[in-house]
């Protein structure tokens, strides 16, 4: 199949390339429209009990959440007549802003205690707007408008703009700005490294060709998705990182094989056909393993994680398409000109035997000590995982100096925030069952952490009661409170909602779907690697090694982002003592997928050498010699791309950049260069064993 594809591409090289380029340019133009339609939320389980309770409170009880919360601070105190007059004037000006439906404040509501700071020096102004639930552009735009107009000094009052719309704009704007900075660093630096790796100017453009076209095409696919579902703004970073990273990986493999065939005396046409039939096949199956790994994110109920699944599937598909179809067409047109602009001649001609083969033979002479040493290092790196704790993204992902983060911090420290985020008890058709509800609430009162039970609120036949807890809404302690309340005997149909319940349902949703996601990854990867290698042992070994590498990466992430070490390396961030659950899962899935990428690169060449008649030891040595340089170079370049994410001011993006960069470097050195050859030596010819009845399902190389 791949040989026929190569022949077709060679015959239709110009047409294939022109169609691909025109399609990419059109996709990029339309895809740019996606930027204003992306969501900065998506951390809730839309089908959960808390989501139903929120919908009930909004639709039945007509309760509307403010989109912006302003803190008005004054040394004179909120009761000072001049402070009150200026605050009311500010409230009036805010209400006149286009798009704002209503504004309430501590002063206009007669001094509501929940709207005054505990020290009596500051009060709230709450801003509302009638926006559609998916109008993310309008939501963010209003946040920006209010912050630009009113944040700062107003007639002697210090005003801090915060709340959902302001934080959304702050995160979105910073991600867009950080993305530009990361790309402006990554692309030139990557190109310089590519020149060194390829040794020629023309060849060095090939990975950027695949990567950039994959990114532009992915933006288009994400734009189409925004017409049907919510997509997280954080997906942009993954598209950029994976697009450039996989473009580098796949182009390195393809160009290196094309050069190898040329230097063996084949014609340009035959070299392209062989490249597609060998390296192209590896790229396709490698991309397929990353594809199915990223698809596991679609199991989770949170749109935040689903968005990364969409982004990953899009960019992987287009990177494979570019590497297997468009790049060979370009190589067929360039021919031997691929080596034009020589910078480092030694990089142009692949060596048949060299230091990688020598390294493999050295490792295979003493495989057991190498395995013990490597596993020990990975184990030590994984130890901090014992301290891992989970939460969700909030304003603290922003730099502490950001005005939106400062406002959120003030709300948390100077106001009784727990009164502002109560547990919602909603009883549909509860009228007539007041005694049963009261009995339930008497039990709720005895739950550890509950400090106050509110009054009954009735709308039609429905009853709503607010319960105040003494623990932070988005914490492990709040999960225990919600689980305890839900475990009580309660009136039929009772819904438990509010911020704490939303957090609990999100964490439970992830935990409940995690076994399915892990099972999907394990099963599909085992099947794909078996089909590709014809071995029972190699797929199992690959999963175990990748799990070890992943644990080491998560240990390092915990040590840095929970314990607060190495800020000089990754940049300053707010230490919260927790990691965002969704971001950790994202890092784990991306790392696992990329590790499988490199695994197939290596196993493909080892298997090719083994099928040519070489012994197990020699096939490993030669396979490592011909692929380890590519893997190491690809890992270094991919690490550079993701390491630039550490320049981001958003902690979760910083963590993604560090985690992936570290993982691919570990994988390309400690795992692929040492552990894989050592274990291949220990298993010997058993590496390639499979029952005869299963061998008919394997790929013919």
Contact yes or no for 481/449 (Cβ under 8 A): yes
Domain count, the chain: 1
Is 114 a member of any domain?
A: yes
Q: What is the pLDDT of residues 443-457, one digit of tens each?
A: 999 998 888 888 888
Q: What is the pLDDT of residues 271-298, one digit of tens each?
A: 999 999 988 988 998 899 999 999 999 9
Is 103 a member of any domain?
A: yes
Task: Give the model's confidence band at 353: pLDDT under 50 very low, under 70 low, under 90 confident, else very high.
Answer: low
Segment among 220-229, 308-317, 327-336, 341-350 with least mean pLDDT: 341-350
Using alpha carbons, select from 242, 257, 258, 256 the residue that is nearest to residue 210.
242
Task: Give the model's confidence band at 344: pLDDT under 50 very low, under 70 low, under 90 confident, else very high.
Answer: low
pLDDT of residue 351: 57
Is 83 a member of any domain?
A: yes
Q: What is the pLDDT of residues 388-446, one digit of tens each?
A: 888 877 778 888 888 888 888 888 788 775 555 789 899 998 888 888 999 999 999 99
Task: Give the CA-trace dihedral at 541, 542, 543, 544, to 10 degrees.
Answer: 50
Query: pTM for the whole thing?
Result: 0.83
pLDDT of residue 354: 60
Residue length, the chain? 701
Task: Give the model's confidence band at 46: pLDDT under 50 very low, under 70 low, under 90 confident, else very high.
Answer: confident
Query: Is 70 exceeded by the pLDDT of residue 700?
Result: no
CA distance 425 to 423: 7
Range of the domain at 151: 68-162
Q: Phi-psi bin for 566: left (phi > 0), alpha (psi -120 to 50), beta?
A: left
Average pLDDT, whole number, for the chain?
86
Residue 153: give its domain's CATH number.
Answer: 3.30.70.1320
Query: Is 90 exceeded by the pLDDT of residue 697?
Result: no
Is 478 a member of any domain?
A: no
Question: How crowded is residue 89: how many other Cβ atoms within 10 Å of its Cβ?
Answer: 13
Q: What is the pLDDT of residues 546-598, one digit of tens each?
A: 899 999 999 999 999 999 898 888 888 888 888 888 889 988 998 888 888 88
pLDDT of residue 309: 92
**b/e map 213-242, b = 16+ CB within 10 Å:** bbbbbbbbbbbebbeeebbbbbbbbbbbbb
Query: Is 80 exceeded by the pLDDT of residue 628?
Result: no
Is 33 a member of any domain?
A: no
Is 142 a member of any domain?
A: yes
- What is the mean predicted confidence (pLDDT) over 191-207? 81
Task: Give the model's confidence band at 504: pLDDT under 50 very low, under 70 low, under 90 confident, else very high.
Answer: very high
Query: Is 70 exceeded by the pLDDT of residue 134?
Result: no
**b/e map 323-333, b = 16+ CB within 10 Å:** bbbbbbbbbbe
Is 98 a member of any domain?
A: yes
- What is the mean predicted confidence (pLDDT) over 158-180? 84
């Amino acid at each position: 199949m791949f040989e026929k594809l190569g022949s077709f591409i060679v015959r239709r090289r110009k047409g294939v390339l022109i169609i691909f380029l025109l399609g990419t340019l059109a996709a990029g133009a339309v895809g740019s429209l996606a930027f204003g339609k992306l969501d900065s939320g998506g951390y809730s389980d839309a089908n959960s009990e808390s989501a139903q309770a929120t919908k009930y409170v909004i639709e039945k009880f007509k309760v509307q959440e403010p989109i912006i919360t302003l803190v008005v601070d004054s040394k004179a105190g909120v009761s000072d007549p001049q402070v009150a007059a200026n605050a009311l004037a500010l409230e009036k000006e805010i209400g006149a802003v286009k798009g704002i439906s209503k504004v309430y404040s501590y002063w206009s509501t007669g001094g509501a205690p929940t709207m005054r700071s505990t020290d009596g020096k500051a009060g709230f102004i709450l801003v509302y707007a009638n926006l559609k639930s998916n109008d993310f552009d309008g939501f963010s735009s209003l946040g920006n408008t209010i912050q630009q107009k009113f944040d700062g000094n107003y007639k002697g009052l210090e005003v801090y703009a915060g709340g959902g719309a302001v934080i959304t704009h702050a995160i979105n704007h910073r991600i867009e700005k950080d993305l530009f900075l990361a790309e402006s660093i990554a692309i030139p630096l990557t190109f310089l490294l590519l020149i060194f790796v390829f040794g020629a100017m023309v060849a060095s453009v090939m990975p950027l060709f695949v990567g950039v076209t994959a990114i532009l095409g992915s933006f288009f696919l994400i734009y189409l998705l925004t017409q049907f579902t919510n997509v997280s703004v954080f997906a942009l970073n993954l598209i950029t990182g994976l697009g450039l990273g996989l473009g580098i990986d796949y182009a390195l493999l393809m160009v290196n094989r094309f050069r190898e065939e040329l230097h063996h005396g084949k014609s340009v046409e035959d070299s392209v056909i062989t490249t597609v039939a060998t390296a192209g096949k590896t790229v396709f199956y490698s991309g397929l393993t990353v594809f199915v790994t990223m698809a596991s994110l679609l199991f989770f109920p949170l749109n935040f994680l689903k968005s990364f699944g969409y982004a990953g599937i899009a960019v992987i598909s287009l990177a494979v398409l570019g590497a297997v179809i468009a790049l060979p067409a370009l190589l067929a047109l360039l021919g031997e000109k691929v080596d034009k602009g020589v910078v480092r001649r030694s990089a142009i001609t692949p060596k048949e035997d060299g230091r990688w083969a020598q390294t493999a033979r050295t490792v295979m002479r003493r495989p057991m000590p190498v395995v013990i040493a490597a596993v020990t290092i990975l184990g030590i790196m994984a130890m901090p995982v014992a301290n891992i704790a989970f939460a969700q993204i909030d304003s603290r992902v922003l730099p502490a100096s950001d005005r939106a983060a400062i406002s959120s911090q003030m709300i948390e420290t100077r106001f009784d925030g727990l009164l502002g985020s109560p547990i919602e008890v909603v009883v549909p058709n509860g009228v007539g069952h007041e005694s049963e509800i009261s009995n339930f609430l008497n039990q709720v009162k005895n739950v550890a952490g509950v400090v106050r039970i509110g009054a009954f609120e009735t709308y039609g036949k429905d009853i709503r009661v607010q319960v105040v807890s003494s623990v932070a809404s988005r914490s492990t302690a709040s999960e225990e409170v919600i689980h305890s309340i839900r475990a009580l005997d309660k009136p039929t149909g009772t819904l438990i909602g509010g911020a704490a319940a939303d957090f609990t349902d999100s964490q439970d949703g992830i935990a409940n779907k995690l076994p399915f996601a892990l099972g999907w990854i394990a099963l599909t990867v085992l099947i794909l690697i078996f089909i590709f290698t014809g071995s029972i042992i190699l797929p199992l070994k690959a999963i175990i090694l990748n799990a070890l590498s992943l644990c080491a990466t998560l240990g390092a992430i915990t040590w840095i982002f929970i314990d607060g070490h190495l800020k000089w390396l990754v940049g300053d961030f707010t230490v919260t003592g927790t990691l965002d659950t969704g971001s950790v899962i994202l890092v784990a899935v991306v790392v696992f997928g990329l590790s499988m990428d490199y695994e197939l690169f290596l196993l493909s060449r080892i298997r090719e050498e083994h099928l040519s008649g070489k012994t197990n030891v020699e096939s490993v040595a030669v396979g490592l010699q011909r692929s380890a340089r590519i893997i190491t170079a690809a890992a270094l370049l991919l690490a550079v791309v993701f390491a630039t994410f550490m320049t981001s001011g958003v902690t979760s993006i910083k963590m993604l950049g560090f985690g992936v960069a570290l993982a691919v470097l570990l994988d390309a050195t400690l795992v692929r260069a040492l552990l894989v050859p050592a274990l291949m030596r220990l298993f010997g010819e058993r590496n390639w064993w499979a029952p005869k009845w299963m061998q008919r399902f394997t790929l013919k190389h």
